[in-house]
Structure 1
């Protein structure tokens, strides 16, 4: 009996060209954790609400492990976080999370992603986001997707613009004792032009009920 037999989401895979997006196995989670430990942005930047520059490599690695295990342990069809590892040429290069609450009623998903610092600037983030948006819009029936991003996170802002997101107000978040303002962006299904390259989704039928 395989892992996918007892937890079918492990059999779900989204392929975008040479990128593979899927749940990582334990040894792959460890590799992702080490990748995050090496850095997901330059030390002089603060592009995420997650304080990636605080606590050092071990703290970043442990954060990745906790997030992975927490998402699996708390999964409910009405409230889920699909934390997919992004693989390029068989090696993990980052992570992208697709999240929804009451998807069948609200029709809304949100995304969050990070890449190892060595893999920035290669278009991987745009392609991975397009892959999970294809999963959401073309296979799970989502009607909109949101993203919250700091105004000075130019890379993420650029990805969102390229994929058709539009301004949808602002939101406040807390990091330590700071109150931080983010732009809220929204992509509705009518503006979803499809991924810029073919996306292949495999293994969804076996776990469709997990997504509500």
Structure 2
């Protein structure tokens, strides 16, 4: 038996012109922790609801590694999150999450991501989100994809608008005792197809992977 026999989602590979996305092995997790330790965002804006980056570099890396391990351990057909590492030229540069609850019924997935600071401003954020959008719409048969970004997070909002998302209302969150506006974004299948610019290859999406995400082959 191999890892993929026990956790079929490890067979998945998403490939774009420049990037590969996959579930992380232990070496990938260490590389991801190193990226987190080196910095994920500037000091003047906290983009995350849980301020996990507000600590010393080694602790930031440790939190990253342990969190991703826990997310992988929590994958079930009814509720799943795939914390995919993003590789460029064979090097881990960040992570792209995609997940859903009761996807078989809702046909709705949500995403989140971050990149190491050294890799900002190169179009990777758009390309890696496009990869998981192709996965959920074409691979899994989604009807909608959701995202959110705090007011003032221009790069994240820019990615959403570029890929065809529409504004979907706001929420208010409290971060370190301060109210923050969280802008919701929704992408329909029609808008995805109208704004689809990146070619994405989906590898390893077989019947066992679909079953692990709550689907069978006829439903995707």
Bin of the TM-score, shorter chain as denominator length: over 0.9
Match of 1:191 in 2: 191
Contact 1:131/1:195 (8 A) holds in 2: no
> 1:180 & 1:64 partners in 2: Cα distance?
24
Aligned equivalents of 1:95, 1:53: Cα separation in 2: 14
Question: What is aligned with 2:217?
Answer: none
Cα distance in structure 1, aligned partners of 2:138 and 2:176: 38
- Name the SS of the counterpart of 1:192 in structure 2: helix
Q: Matched residues in 2 for 1:174 and 1:82: separation? A: 26
Measured against aligned partners, the alpha-carbon deviations of 1:115-153 in whole angstroms (never above 9, x if no partner) come to 000000000000000000000001101110111101200
Matches for 1:105-124 after TM superposition, within 5 Å? 105-124=105-124
* SS of 2:99 mapped into structure 1: strand
Kindly state the Cα deviation for residue 197 of structure 1 after the two structures are TM-superposed. 2.4
Cα RMSD over matched residues?
Answer: 1.4
Q: What is the SS of the residue equivalent to 1:184?
A: strand
What is the DSSP-based 3-state SS (H/G/I as helix, E as strand, rest coil) of the residue aligned with 2:190?
helix
Q: Distance in 2 between matches of 1:174 and 1:145?
A: 24
TM-score, normalised with respect to structure 1: 0.95
Q: Report the counterpart of residue 170 of structure 1 in structure 2.
A: 170
Alignment check: 8 A CA contact 2:4 2:10 kept: yes
**1:202 corresponds to:** 203
Offset of residue 172 of structure 1: 2.4
| Cα drift, residue 165 of structure 1 | 0.4
Match of 1:211 among 210, 213, 217: 213
**In 2, Cα distance between the equivalents of 1:198 and 1:14?**
10
Q: How many residues align?
A: 212
Q: Per-residue CA shift, 1:67-90, capped at 9, x if unaligned?
A: 211112211111000000000000
Q: How does 1:103-182 map to 2 (within 5 A)?
A: 103-182=103-182
Give, in angstroms, the shift of residue 2 of structure 1. 2.8
Structure 1: any 5+ residue segments left out of the alignment? none
Hey, what's the Cα distance between the residues in 2 that align with 1:12 and 1:79?
Answer: 18
What is the CA-CA distance between 1:50 and the residue it aligns to?
Answer: 3.2
Distance 2:170 2:73 in 1: 31
CA distance in structure 1 between the partners assigned to 2:83 and 2:53 by the alignment: 21
Listed as ranges, the gaps of 5+ residues in structure 2 are 215-220
1:52 CA drift (Å): 4.5
TM-superposition CA deviations, 1:168-206 (whole Å, max 9, x none) = 100122334333221001001121126412110011104
